[in-house]
Structure 1
Amino acid sequence: MKHKAVILGCNYYIGLSTIRCLGLHGIHTVAVDYSSKQAYGAKSKFCSEQLIAPHYKEDKEGFVRFLIDYASKQSHPPVLIPCHDSYVEIVDEHLAKLKRYYLIPQTEQGLYTKVMDKGTLHLLATQNNVRVPETVKLNDEHFFEKIENIIQYPCIVKPVDSPAFVAHFRRKLFKVHNKVELIKALDEAEQAGLEVIVQRIIPGFDDHMYTFDAYLNQQSQVTNWVSCRKLRQYPVNFGASVYTEYKKTPELYEIGAKFLEHIGWKGFAEIEFKKDAETGQFYLIEINVRITNLNVLLQQAGMNIPYLTYCELTGNVQRQSAEARATKRVFWYAYEDLLAIRDYWRSGQLTRTQVVRSLLFRPKAYAIWDWKDPQPALAYMGILLGKFLRKARKG
Structure 2
Amino acid sequence: MKNKAVVLGTNYYIGLSIIRCLGRENIDVISMDYEKYGTYGSKSKYLKKQLICPHYEKESEKLKDFLIEFAKNEKYKPVLYPTADQYCEFIDKYLLELRKYYHITMDKKGFWTRVMDKDELYKMALKYNMPVPESVSIKEENFIEKVKNNIGFPCLVKPTDSPKFVEVFREKLFICNNINELESVIKRIKKENLDIIVQRKISGFDDQMYTFDAYLDKNSNITHWVTCRKHRQFPINYGASVYTEQVYEKELYEICAPFFKGINYKGFGEIELKKDANTGKFYMIEINARTTNLNALLDKVGVNFPYIAYREMIDKPLEGYYIDYNSKVYFRYLQEDLMAIRDYLKTKQISIYKILKSLFNKKAPAIFSIKDPIPGLYYLIYKLNLCKKTD
Give the TM-score category using the shorter length: over 0.9
**TM-score, structure 2 length as denominator?**
0.97
1:366 counterpart residue number: 365
- How many Å separate the matches in 2 of 1:42 and 1:89? 22
- How many Å separate the matches in 2 of 1:368 and 1:33? 18
Structure 1 residues 55-88: Cα deviation after superposition (integer angstroms, max 9, x where no partner): 1121111111111111111111100000000000
Structure 1 residues 233-260: Cα deviation after superposition (integer angstroms, max 9, x where no partner): 1111111110000111111000111110
**TM-score, structure 1 length as denominator?**
0.96
SS at match of 2:385: helix
2:69 counterpart residue number: 69
Q: Which amino acid aligns with 1:70?
A: F
1:205 counterpart residue number: 205
- How many Å separate the matches in 2 of 1:122 and 1:98? 29
- How many Å separate the matches in 1 of 2:331 and 2:251? 22
Q: 1:388 to 1:186 in 2, by over 3 A?
A: farther
- How many Å separate the matches in 1 of 2:81 and 2:240? 20
1:101 counterpart residue number: 101
1:273 counterpart residue number: 273
Structure 1 residues 344-381: Cα deviation after superposition (integer angstroms, max 9, x where no partner): 11111112112112222x11100000011111111111
- How many Å separate the matches in 1 of 2:308 and 2:116? 22
Structure 1 residues 7-46: Cα deviation after superposition (integer angstroms, max 9, x where no partner): 0111000000000000010100011111100110000000
2:59 counterpart residue number: 59
1:81 counterpart residue number: 81
2:12 counterpart residue number: 12
Structure 1 residues 200-226: Cα deviation after superposition (integer angstroms, max 9, x where no partner): 110000000000000011111000001
- How many Å separate the matches in 2 of 1:38 and 1:139? 39
Q: How far did residue 136 of structure 1 move? A: 1.2
SS at match of 2:286: strand
Q: 1:325 to 1:2 in 2, by over 3 A?
A: farther
1:91 counterpart residue number: 91
- How many Å separate the matches in 1 of 2:66 and 2:131? 41
Within 5 Å, give how 1:246-257 maps onto structure 2: 246-257=246-257
- How many Å separate the matches in 1 of 2:324 and 2:65? 38
- How many Å separate the matches in 2 of 1:72 and 1:269? 29
Task: Give the percent of matched residue pairs that are identical in Structure 1 and Structure 2.
Answer: 48
In 1, are the aligned partners of 2:57 and 2:90 still within 8 Å (CA)?
no
1:195 counterpart residue number: 195
- How many Å separate the matches in 2 of 1:8 and 1:352? 39
1:286 counterpart residue number: 286
1:230 counterpart residue number: 230
Structure 1: gaps (5+ residues): 391-395
Within 5 Å, give how 1:327-338 maps onto structure 2: 327-338=327-338
Q: Which amino acid aligns with 1:82?
A: P
2:166 paired with 1:181? no
- How many Å separate the matches in 2 of 1:133 and 1:114? 18
- How many Å separate the matches in 2 of 1:213 and 1:114? 19
In 1, are the aligned partners of 2:10 and 2:41 still within 8 Å (CA)?
yes
Q: Which amino acid aligns with 2:349?
A: Q
Q: Which moved more, 1:187-196 or 1:41-50?
A: 187-196
Q: 1:84 to 1:308 in 2, by over 3 A?
A: same
- How many Å separate the matches in 2 of 1:68 and 1:128? 37
Q: 1:227 to 1:44 in 2, by over 3 A?
A: same
Q: How far did residue 156 of structure 1 move? A: 1.1
2:350 counterpart residue number: 350
- How many Å separate the matches in 2 of 1:238 and 1:212? 18
1:163 counterpart residue number: 163
- How many Å separate the matches in 2 of 1:143 and 1:121? 19
Structure 2: gaps (5+ residues): none
State the superposition RMSD in angstroms: 1.6
Q: Which moved more, 1:147-156 or 1:22-31?
A: 147-156
In 2, are the aligned partners of 1:14 and 1:293 still within 8 Å (CA)?
yes
2:113 paired with 1:117? no
- How many Å separate the matches in 2 of 1:114 and 1:318? 29
- How many Å separate the matches in 1 of 2:144 and 2:167? 28
1:39 counterpart residue number: 39
Structure 1 residues 84-121: Cα deviation after superposition (integer angstroms, max 9, x where no partner): 00000010111110000000111111211111111110
SS at match of 1:184: helix
SS at match of 1:386: coil
Q: How far did residue 387 of structure 1 move? A: 8.7
SS at match of 1:331: strand
